[in-house]
């Protein structure tokens, strides 16, 4: 019934990240979690092993995420994936009507689309790797983003650029907020003498890069007469309100 | 006397347990690879419940099994009345420990090693069968367990644990989907698993061969339905795009 031979695939995944601590001082990793507050004294003492002391002096211990932090990462990755899905679909829907009337915009639209597709791929991989639940509103956002992209493109070039400007403004602020929270964690960990972990450090770098690219799109949109759209205020406010609502919903659902 | 001395610390941990049960049922699944996840149960409860599970084949899922388990682990009989959910805690312990044991109990050939590696569906089948096998020692008592799990007080926790099991199986099988199929896959696997589990409780064939066949039939049904909806989706997609493109080629500004 079960076809298996012992493989290193699963074991190597687990041990690759903490190769030394894993076998030298496993109990330190298991029982140093802050979230455990039961009063029964833990029956396993940390080993009085000089090696463990020495290793700990060289490398600070990895910070164990508490529930608030895990929840934050969970909802952050979920929202970011939803946002990039929407971005990809908006560009996909905007491009044909826009290119027909303004063929010179083709390279710009392609460049922005490629960058968004890269962001989408990044978050898809992170979600699959960290077993985060994707948003249940996926098909609804799929439809809404397509309609938004197509609708603004049919309204005209300025409206399409205004849509991009509105979405990127919201997204830029949203990523900034996330980076701020993660940097706050990094600072607290440093004060406590813990290591935040490679994954989160890489995540901060990635989020910064992605935020910079989104703001670059914002600049392109403004450069291409986003502010000339009529009715500018109504369009931008409706789209920004919609983005904020979508972000709020995706964080939870 | 060891049992009396331990009772104070046990009382403390059991009081904390009812506050902590919310932590055990964490909704968030964010999984970190940089440190080991904490064990799901504190040491005292773990000792009592694992000892109690050994008595389930003889006593069933009853407070008798819990009492025997407390005695074997060196605690007072009365310690078990402090488990927040009584016998359901024993069932829950079995569910959680068997789910977490899946990743160690089933290993697949790594990609690229000699021989063909399995498809994801085949891996799902192996993992589901492995989990069903874990019920074998207590299968004659499992109908009582299902009855207890179905009580309105415990049904939400049982369903959540079933969802977690489905997620675990798909993850270990290597599923990388991150769109709405994430939900449909887990929902269908949860339904198949619980149906097969119920079937297994009345299966008397040797080596539970009939259960294996039942599982294969359900998985095939899901493939057929999935295939049908996938094909329909593709057709609608294609027809829609074609209609829009024809209109565009006629000069309609859409």
| Span B181-211, pLDDT tens digits | 999 999 999 999 999 999 999 999 999 999 9
Residue-wise pLDDT tens digits, A217-239: 999 999 999 999 989 999 999 99
CA torsion, ordered A178, A180, A186, A192, to nearest 10 deg: -120
The answer to whether A199 is a known ligand-binding residue is no
Which residues span the domain enclosing B166? Answer: 117-254
The shortest C-alpha distance from A167 to chain B (Å) reads 22
Q: Tokens for A20?
A: 């030394």
Q: In terms of domains, do B123 and B176 share one?
A: yes
Is residue B151 in a domain?
A: yes
In sequence order, what are the residues at sequence separation of 6 or more whose Cβ sits closer than 8 angstroms to the Cβ of residue B214? B195, B196, B199, B203
Q: What is the pLDDT of residue A11?
A: 47
Q: Tokens for A176?
A: 């900034």
B182 contact residues in A (CB cutoff 8 A)? 133-134
The answer to whether A217 is a known ligand-binding residue is yes
Q: In terms of domains, do B73 and B125 share one?
A: no
Cα separations (Å) of B150 from A29, B145, B147? 37, 9, 5
Residue with tokens 């179905």: B150
The answer to whether A119 is a known ligand-binding residue is yes
| Domain formed by A67-252, architecture | Up-down Bundle (1.20)
B113 contact residues in A (CB cutoff 8 A)? 7
Range with the poorest average pLDDT among A28-37, A205-214, B232-241: A28-37
Q: What is the pLDDT of residue A35?
A: 45
Is residue B81 in a domain?
A: yes
Residue with tokens 């813990």: A194
Residue-wise pLDDT tens digits, B57-93: 999 999 999 999 999 998 888 888 778 898 999 999 9
How far is C-alpha B173 from the chain's CA centre? 14
Compute the distance between CA of residue B84 and CA of residue A110 in angstroms, rounded to an integer. 59
Average pLDDT over residues A136-143: 96
B29 contact residues in A (CB cutoff 8 A)? 74, 131-133
A14 contact residues in B (CB cutoff 8 A)? 33, 36
Using CA coordinates, name the residue in chain A closest to B47: A43
Length of chain B: 254
Q: In terms of domains, do B50 and B134 share one?
A: no
B74: left (phi over 0), alpha (psi -120 to 50) or beta: left
Q: What is the pLDDT of residue B11?
A: 52
Q: What is the pLDDT of residue B35?
A: 85
- CB-CB under 8 Å, A14 with B109: no
Using CA coordinates, name the residue in chain A closest to B8: A40
Q: What is the pLDDT of residue B79?
A: 83
* Nearest residue to B47 (alpha-carbon basis) of B21, B85, B5, B14: B14
User: Is B186 within 8 Å of B170 (Cβ atoms)?
Assistant: yes
* Nearest residue to A126 (alpha-carbon basis) of A178, A162, A89: A178
Average pLDDT over residues A62-83: 93
- CB-CB under 8 Å, B183 with A40: no
Q: Tokens for B154?
A: 């415990």
Compute the distance between CA of residue A166 and CA of residue B191 in angstroms, rounded to an integer. 43
| Complex-level ipTM | 0.82
Q: Tokens for B242?
A: 């074609």
The shortest C-alpha distance from B118 to chain A (Å) reads 9
- For an interface test with B, give the residue of A11, A131, A252 to mutate (most B CBs within 10 A): A131
Nearest to B126 among A2, A18, A154 (CB): A2
Q: What is the pLDDT of residue B234?
A: 94
Cα separations (Å) of A100 from A149, A227, B125, B252? 15, 22, 50, 11
Q: A112-144 as b/e, with b when 16 or more CB fall inside 10 Å?
A: bbebbeebbebbbebbbebbbbbbebbeebbeb
Q: In terms of domains, do B154 and B206 share one?
A: yes
Instruction: Place A60 in a pLDDT band, splitting at 50, 70 and 90.
Output: confident
How many domains would you assign to chain B? 2
Residue-wise pLDDT tens digits, A141-170: 999 999 999 999 999 999 999 999 999 999
Residue-wise pLDDT tens digits, A85-121: 999 999 999 999 999 999 999 999 999 999 999 999 9
Q: In terms of domains, do B246 and B152 share one?
A: yes
Q: What is the pLDDT of residue B37?
A: 84
Backbone φ and ψ of B65, nearest 5° = -65, -40
pLDDT above 60 for A213? yes
Q: What is the pLDDT of residue A2?
A: 47
Q: What is the pLDDT of residue A57?
A: 58
Is residue B181 in a domain?
A: yes
CB pairs under 8 A between A and B: 133
Neighbouring C-beta atoms of residue A43, cutoff 10 Å: 9
Q: In terms of domains, do B68 and B159 share one?
A: no
Compute the distance between CA of residue A1 and CA of residue B170 in angstroms, rounded to an integer. 18
Q: In terms of domains, do B59 and B170 share one?
A: no
More confident residue, A149 or B17: A149
Instruction: Place A62 in a pLDDT band, splitting at 50, 70 and 90.
Output: confident
Q: In terms of domains, do B157 and B69 share one?
A: no
Length of chain A: 253
Range with the poorest average pLDDT among B27-31, B32-36, B163-167, B248-252: B27-31
Instruction: Place A79 in a pLDDT band, splitting at 50, 70 and 90.
Output: very high
The domain limits of chain A are 1-37, 67-252
Nearest to B38 among A6, A33, A197 (CB): A33
Residue-wise pLDDT tens digits, B124-160: 999 999 999 999 999 999 999 999 999 999 999 999 9
Percent of chain B at pLDDT exceeding 70: 85
């Amino acid at each position: 019934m079960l076809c298996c031979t012992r493989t290193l695939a699963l074991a190597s995944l687990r041990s690759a990240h903490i190769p030394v601590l894993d076998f030298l001082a496993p109990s330190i990793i298991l029982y140093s979690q802050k979230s455990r507050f039961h009063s029964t004294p833990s029956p396993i003492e940390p080993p009085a092993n000089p090696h463990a002391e020495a290793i700990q002096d060289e490398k600070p211990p990895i910070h164990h995420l508490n529930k608030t932090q895990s929840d934050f990462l969970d909802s952050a990755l979920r929202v970011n994936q939803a946002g990039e899905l929407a971005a990809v679909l908006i560009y996909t829907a905007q491009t044909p009507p826009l290119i027909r009337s303004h063929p010179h915009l083709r390279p710009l639209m392609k460049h922005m689309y490629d960058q968004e597709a890269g962001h989408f791929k990044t978050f898809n991989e992170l979600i699959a790797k960290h077993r985060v639940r994707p948003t249940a509103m996926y098909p609804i956002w799929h439809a809404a983003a397509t309609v938004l992209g197509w609708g603004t493109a049919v309204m005209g070039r300025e409206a399409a650029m205004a849509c991009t400007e509105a979405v990127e403004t919201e997204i830029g602020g949203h990523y900034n907020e996330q980076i701020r929270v993660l940097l706050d964690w990094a600072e607290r960990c440093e004060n406590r003498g813990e290591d935040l972990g490679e994954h989160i450090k890489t995540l901060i770098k990635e989020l910064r890069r992605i935020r910079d690219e989104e703001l670059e799109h914002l600049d392109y949109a403004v450069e291409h007469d986003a502010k000339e759209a009529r009715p500018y205020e109504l369009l931008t406010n409706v789209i920004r309100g919609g983005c904020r609502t979508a972000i709020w919903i995706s964080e939870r659902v | 006397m060891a049992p009396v001395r331990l009772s104070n610390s046990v009382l403390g941990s059991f009081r904390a347990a009812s506050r902590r049960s919310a932590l055990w049922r964490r909704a968030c699944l964010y999984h970190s690879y940089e440190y080991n996840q904490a064990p799901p149960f504190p040491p005292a409860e773990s000792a009592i419940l694992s000892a109690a599970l050994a008595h389930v084949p003889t006593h069933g899922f009853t407070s008798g099994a819990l009492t025997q388990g407390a005695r074997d682990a060196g605690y007072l009989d009365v310690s078990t009345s402090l488990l927040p959910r009584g016998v359901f805690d024993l069932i829950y312990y079995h569910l959680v420990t068997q789910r977490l044991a899946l990743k160690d109990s089933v290993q697949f050939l790594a990609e690229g090693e000699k021989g063909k590696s399995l498809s994801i569906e085949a891996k799902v089948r192996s993992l589901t069968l492995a989990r069903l096998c874990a019920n074998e020692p207590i299968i004659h008592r499992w109908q009582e367990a299902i009855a207890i799990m179905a009580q309105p007080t415990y049904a939400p926790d049982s369903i959540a644990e079933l969802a977690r099991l489905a997620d675990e199986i798909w993850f270990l099988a290597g599923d990388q989907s991150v769109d709405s199929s994430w939900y449909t896959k887990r929902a269908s696997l949860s339904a198949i698993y619980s149906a097969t589990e119920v079937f297994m409780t009345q299966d008397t064939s040797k080596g539970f061969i009939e259960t294996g066949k039942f599982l294969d039939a359900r998985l095939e049904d899901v493939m057929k339905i999935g295939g049908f909806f996938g094909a329909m989706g593709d057709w609608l997609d294609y027809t829609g795009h074609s209609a829009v493109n024809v209109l565009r080629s006629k000069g309609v500004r859409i």
